[in-house]
A and B are shown apart, each in its own frame.
Chain A
Amino acid sequence: MPPDHTDRHTDLFRRHAARVYAYARRHVEDAQCDDVVSETFIVAWRRPEQVPDDPLPWLLVVARNIIANQRRTSRRADQLWFAAVREGWAMTSPAADAGLAERELILTALGACTRTEREALLLTAWDGLTPQQAAVVADCSPRAFTVRLHRARGRLRSAVDAQEEPRATRAQPQPVATRIIEESS
Chain B
Amino acid sequence: MNATDAYDVLVAHRPTDEDLTGAWTAERSASVADSVLAVRHSAPARPWVRTRRAVVLAAVAAAAAVALELGPGLLPDAAPRASALEQLAETAGDRAPVTLPAGSYLHTVAREEQVGLQRDRAAFDMDTGFESWTDAAGTVWRIDIDRRSGTTAPMARFTAPTPSLSTPDVAFLAGLPTTTEALAAYLAGHTEGSSSADEAVFTGATDMLRSGLASPALARAAIGALARLPEVRTTRVQFAGHDCVQVSFADEQRRAGVVTAVYLDAATGQPWGETTTSPQLRFTRTVTDQGVVTKVPAPVGTALPDASEPDEAVSGRG
Q: Which residues of A contact B (CB under 8 A)?
A: 1, 6, 9-10, 13, 17-19, 21-22, 25, 28-32, 34-39, 41-43, 45-47, 65-66, 69-76, 78-79, 87-92, 102-103, 105-106, 109-110, 112-117, 121-122, 125-126, 128, 153, 155-162, 164, 179-185
Residue-wise, chain B 15-32 has the 8 Å CB interface mask toward A (1 for contact) of 111011101100011011
Q: Is the interface of A mostly helix, strand, loop or mixed?
A: helix
Question: Which chain B residues border A184 with CB–CB below 8 Å?
Answer: 158-161, 307-308, 310
Question: Which chain A residues border B17 with CB–CB below 8 Å?
Answer: 18-19
Taken together as a complex, chains A and B put the C-alpha atoms of A182 and B29 apart, in Å, by 29
- Of the candidate stretches B3-11, B73-81, B94-102, B224-232, the one touching chain A is B3-11
Taken together as a complex, chains A and B put the C-alpha atoms of A13 and B24 apart, in Å, by 13
Partner of A156, one of B7, B24, B28, B130: B7
The answer to the question of B144 belonging to the interface, with a C-beta cut-off of 8 Å to chain A, is yes
The answer to the question of B149 belonging to the interface, with a C-beta cut-off of 8 Å to chain A, is no
Instruction: Knowing that A45-B39, A90-B19, A162-B318 touch, tell me 18 more A-B residue pairs with CB under 8 angstroms.
Output: A1-B40, A10-B33, A18-B20, A18-B29, A36-B54, A39-B49, A42-B36, A42-B39, A73-B132, A73-B158, A88-B20, A89-B15, A102-B13, A114-B313, A117-B310, A126-B10, A180-B155, A184-B161
- Of the candidate stretches B55-63, B171-179, B240-248, B264-272, the one touching chain A is B55-63
Q: In the bound complex, do residue B156 and residue A13 qualify as a contact, i.e. CB atoms below 8 Å apart?
A: no
Residue of A nearest to B44 (CB): A1
- Supply 16 A–B pairs (Cβ within 8 Å), ascending by A: A13-B36, A22-B15, A29-B57, A30-B23, A30-B123, A32-B57, A42-B39, A43-B49, A70-B55, A72-B58, A74-B144, A78-B156, A88-B23, A159-B6, A181-B307, A182-B156
Q: In the bound complex, do residue B310 and residue A70 qualify as a contact, i.e. CB atoms below 8 Å apart?
A: no
The answer to the question of B290 belonging to the interface, with a C-beta cut-off of 8 Å to chain A, is no
For the complex formed, measure the closest distance between the CB of A173 and the CB atoms of chain B, giving whole angstroms. Answer: 11
Q: In the bound complex, do residue A46 and residue B45 qualify as a contact, i.e. CB atoms below 8 Å apart?
A: yes
For the complex formed, measure the closest distance between the CB of B105 and the CB atoms of chain A, giving whole angstroms. Answer: 13
Q: In the bound complex, do residue A22 and residue B5 qualify as a contact, i.e. CB atoms below 8 Å apart?
A: no
The answer to the question of B305 belonging to the interface, with a C-beta cut-off of 8 Å to chain A, is yes
Most buried by B among A78, A110, A125, A126: A125
Bin the interface of chain B by size: 35 or more
Partner of B32, one of A17, A45, A116: A17
Q: In the bound complex, do residue A70 and residue B51 qualify as a contact, i.e. CB atoms below 8 Å apart?
A: yes
The answer to the question of B1 belonging to the interface, with a C-beta cut-off of 8 Å to chain A, is yes
Q: In the bound complex, do residue A75 and residue B58 qualify as a contact, i.e. CB atoms below 8 Å apart?
A: yes
Question: Which chain B residues border A6 with CB–CB below 8 Å?
Answer: 40
Given A9-B40, A106-B6, A157-B5; A70-B58 close (CB under 8 Å):
yes
Taken together as a complex, chains A and B put the C-alpha atoms of A28 and B123 apart, in Å, by 13
Partner of A45, one of B36, B126, B154: B36
Question: Which chain B residues border A122 with CB–CB below 8 Å?
Answer: 10
Q: In the bound complex, do residue A17 and residue B33 qualify as a contact, i.e. CB atoms below 8 Å apart?
A: yes
For the complex formed, measure the closest distance between the CB of A65 and the CB atoms of chain B, giving whole angstroms. Answer: 7
Q: In the bound complex, do residue A72 and residue B307 qualify as a contact, i.e. CB atoms below 8 Å apart?
A: no
Question: Which chain A residues border B20 with CB–CB below 8 Å?
Answer: 18-19, 21-22, 88
Taken together as a complex, chains A and B put the C-alpha atoms of A115 and B61 apart, in Å, by 28
